[in-house]
C-alpha cells in the first residue's frame, strides 16, 4: 500500500455540508487536505476515483448484537468465536462500518450464549483476534443485566483489565422497558433462546421473586467504569424517573427509549439518545415502542446504531434523507455523533483534516445505496465492482 492516497472526484459529506467534485488527500492513514482542485498531487500517490459517488466517513456502530447471531445462527448451533469474528468483520466492512462496538450481554446462566462464562469467553476472544489482525476497529460494549448480581465481580475484573469500552445497564424483566406484559417476555425468551415453556415459566417466576434492591451493585459498577474512562449507557428507558436514575449513576447515553417521554427527558438531561436503524427502515419498533423517525424529527434522538442488523445503518441514513433530513445531519447520526458520545471525535467520525482516514464510498444500484469501498486508516479493507449480467442466447 502506498503511503499517499487521493480519493478524487468525490461528493464528500462533511459535518456541515456536501462538497461536490472534491479530492481528499491521505498520507500515512491521516486526512491531510480536502481540495476542489488537483494541485499538489504526488506522482507516487494511489488515486481512487470516486467518479462522483458519495464519500462518507466510516460508520461507527455503538450497539450491534451481530456477533451473537454469527456465533449461534440457530439455537444451540454454536460456531467458534474466532471463525465467527473473521466472517462478521467482512460483513461489517461491506456495510461501511469501520468501528464496531460488539454488544456482549451478561445475563443469567440459563441464557446460553449470554451466560457469564460464555460472554466472558467471547469478550476475551474478540480482544485477542482484534489485537492480532483485523479489518476494522473492534470495541466491546458490555451489556449488564441488572438482575445478574453474581456477575458483578466478573464485570469489574474485565473493566480493570481494560477489556471493556462501553457499559450499559439493561433490565429485561417482566413489567420493565419493552416487556410490559408477561406474554411479550415469554415470546422473547422462546424466540431468542429456544427455551421450553416450562423453563421459561421457571425463569420468569424466579426473576419476579428476586430482590429489586440492586442499586448498590449498579453504583459499584458505574463507579468502577467511570474511574476507568468507560462510557455508561442506559437501555430501554420507559419513564422520566428511570432516565433520571440512570443519569444519576453517570449514564450519558440512552439506548432505545421505549417512549417519547423518556427520549425527551434524556435529551433535557444532556444525554445522547440512540435509536435503531432497523426501526427507521421498517417504519417502527418490533414491539410497538417508540418510532425512531418521530424522535429524530423532534430532535429527541442523536445516534443511529445497527442493533441486530448491520446492513441497516447505511440504508437508514438515506432513508432519513428521503424523509427530509439533510444528508450531513443524517450521516452524522451514524458517524460523528456516536464518536462524540464515546469520546472518539478527536480522531474519528468525520471527514476533516487531521483525522484518521476512515472513509466509505457509496454508489446507488436501482436507488439502493451500496457500499463499494471501505477504507480504514488509509487501508482499503473492502472493495467491490459490480458486473453486468449478460444473457446467453437460448438460456
pLDDT, tens only, 103-140:
999 986 545 677 888 899 999 999 999 988 999 999 99
pLDDT recorded at residue 177: 47
* 24-47: pLDDT as tens digits: 999 999 999 999 887 666 668 899
Q: What is the mean pLDDT of residues 373-378?
A: 98
Does residue 11 contact residue 326 with C-beta atoms inside 8 Å?
A: no
pLDDT recorded at residue 211: 47
Please check whether residues 26 and 145 belong to one and the same domain: no
381 pLDDT higher than 70: yes
Q: What is the mean pLDDT of residues 330-344?
A: 99
Q: What percent of the chain has pLDDT over 90?
A: 76
Please check whether residues 162 and 262 belong to one and the same domain: yes
Does residue 3 contact residue 28 with C-beta atoms inside 8 Å?
A: yes
192 pLDDT higher than 50: yes
What DSSP letter does each residue of 81-146 carry, written as one string?
Answer: HHHHHHHHHHHHHHTTEEEEEEEEEE--GGGGGGSHHHHHHHHHHHHHHHHH--SSEEEEEEEEET
CATH number for the domain including 95? 3.20.20.140
- Nearest-angstrom CA–CA distance, 338 and 387: 35
Does residue 258 contact residue 237 with C-beta atoms inside 8 Å?
A: yes
Tell how far CA 157 is from the center of its chain: 24
Is the residue at 44 inside a domain? yes
Please check whether residues 34 and 99 belong to one and the same domain: no
Cα dihedral 67, 71, 72, 77 in deg (nearest 10) = 180
Is the residue at 190 inside a domain? no
pLDDT recorded at residue 34: 97
Please check whether residues 239 and 256 belong to one and the same domain: yes
Minimum mean pLDDT among 11-20, 181-190, 221-230, 280-289: which range? 181-190
178 pLDDT higher than 60: no
- Nearest-angstrom CA–CA distance, 189 and 195: 6
274 pLDDT higher than 80: yes
pLDDT recorded at residue 247: 97
Q: List C-alpha distances in Å: 148 to 106, 212, 230, 245.
A: 8, 11, 20, 19
pLDDT recorded at residue 313: 99
CATH number for the domain including 33? 2.30.40.10
pTM of the model: 0.89
Please check whether residues 138 and 33 belong to one and the same domain: no
Please check whether residues 19 and 104 belong to one and the same domain: no
260 pLDDT higher than 50: yes
Minimum mean pLDDT among 117-131, 182-196, 359-373: which range? 182-196
pLDDT recorded at residue 39: 66
Does residue 251 contact residue 232 with C-beta atoms inside 8 Å?
A: yes
Please check whether residues 51 and 66 belong to one and the same domain: no
List 373's β-bridge partners, or say none: 361, 383
364 pLDDT higher than 60: yes
Is the residue at 70 inside a domain? yes
pLDDT recorded at residue 193: 67
Is the residue at 22 inside a domain? yes
Minimum mean pLDDT among 48-62, 210-224, 256-270: which range? 210-224
Number of domains composing the chain:
2
Residue 225 grid coordinates: 467504569
297 pLDDT higher than 80: yes
Greater model confidence, 214 or 312: 312
Task: Print the domain residue range for 292.
Answer: 59-168+214-341
Is the residue at 376 inside a domain? yes
Does residue 120 contact residue 154 with C-beta atoms inside 8 Å?
A: yes
Q: What is the mean pLDDT of residues 174-182?
A: 56
Is the residue at 389 inside a domain? no
Minimum mean pLDDT among 18-22, 177-181, 346-350: which range? 177-181
- Number of C-beta neighbours around residue 76 at 10 A: 9
Please check whether residues 106 and 68 belong to one and the same domain: yes
Burial of 284 (0-12, 13-18, 19+ CB in 10 A): middle
Reference 136, options 306, 381, 383, 315; nearest CA is: 381
Is the residue at 326 inside a domain? yes
Greater model confidence, 108 or 61: 61
184 pLDDT higher than 80: no
Q: How confident is the model at residue 67 (pLDDT cuts 50, 70, 90)?
A: very high
Is the residue at 193 inside a domain? no
Please check whether residues 145 and 234 belong to one and the same domain: yes
Please check whether residues 118 and 227 belong to one and the same domain: yes
Amino acid at each position: 500500500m502506498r503511503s499517499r492516497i487521493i480519493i478524487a472526484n468525490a461528493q464528500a459529506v462533511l459535518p456541515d455540508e456536501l462538497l461536490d467534485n472534491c479530492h481528499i488527500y491521505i498520507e500515512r492513514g491521516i486526512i491531510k487536505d480536502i481540495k476542489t482542485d488537483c494541485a499538489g498531487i504526488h506522482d507516487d500517490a494511489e488515486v481512487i476515483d470516486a467518479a462522483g459517488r458519495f464519500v462518507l466517513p466510516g460508520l461507527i456502530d455503538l450497539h450491534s448484537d451481530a456477533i451473537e447471531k454469527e456465533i449461534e445462527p440457530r439455537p444451540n448451533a454454536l460456531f467458534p468465536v474466532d471463525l465467527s469474528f473473521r466472517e462478521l468483520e467482512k460483513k461489517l466492512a461491506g456495510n461501511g462500518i469501520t468501528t464496531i462496538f460488539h454488544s456482549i450481554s451478561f445475563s443469567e446462566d440459563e441464557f446460553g450464549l449470554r451466560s457469564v462464562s460464555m460472554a466472558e469467553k467471547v469478550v476475551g476472544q474478540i480482544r485477542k483476534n482484534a489485537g492480532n489482525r483485523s479489518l476494522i476497529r473492534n470495541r466491546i460494549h458490555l451489556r449488564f443485566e441488572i438482575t445478574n448480581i453474581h456477575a458483578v465481580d466478573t464485570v469489574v475484573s474485565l473493566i480493570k483489565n481494560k477489556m471493556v469500552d462501553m457499559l450499559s445497564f439493561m433490565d429485561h424483566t417482566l413489567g420493565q422497558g419493552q416487556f410490559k406484559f408477561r406474554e411479550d417476555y415469554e415470546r422473547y425468551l422462546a424466540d431468542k433462546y429456544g427455551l421450553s415453556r416450562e423453563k421459561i415459566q421457571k425463569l420468569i417466576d424466579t426473576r419476579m421473586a428476586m430482590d429489586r434492591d440492586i442499586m448498590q451493585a449498579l453504583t459499584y459498577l458505574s463507579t468502577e467504569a467511570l474511574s476507568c474512562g468507560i462510557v455508561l449507557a442506559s437501555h430501554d428507558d420507559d419513564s422520566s424517573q428511570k432516565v433520571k436514575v440512570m443519569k444519576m449513576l453517570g449514564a450519558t447515553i440512552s439506548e432505545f427509549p421505549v417512549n417519547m417521554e423518556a427520549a425527551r427527558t434524556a435529551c433535557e438531561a444532556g444525554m445522547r439518545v440512540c435509536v435503531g436503524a432497523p426501526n427507521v427502515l421498517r417504519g417502527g419498533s418490533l414491539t410497538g415502542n417508540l418510532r425512531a423517525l418521530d424522535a429524530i424529527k423532534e430532535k429527541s434522538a442523536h445516534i443511529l446504531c445497527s442493533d441486530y442488523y448491520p446492513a441497516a445503518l447505511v440504508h437508514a441514513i438515506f432513508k432519513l434523507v428521503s424523509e427530509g433530513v439533510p444528508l450531513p445531519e443524517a450521516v452524522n447520526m451514524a458517524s460523528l455523533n456516536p464518536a462524540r458520545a464515546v469520546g472518539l471525535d478527536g480522531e474519528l467520525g468525520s471527514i476533516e483534516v487531521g483525522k484518521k482516514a476512515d472513509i466509505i464510498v457509496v454508489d446507488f444500484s436501482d436507488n439502493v445505496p451500496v457500499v463499494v469501498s471501505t477504507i480504514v486508516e488509509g487501508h482499503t479493507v473492502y472493495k467491490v465492482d459490480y458486473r453486468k449480467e449478460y444473457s446467453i442466447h437460448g438460456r
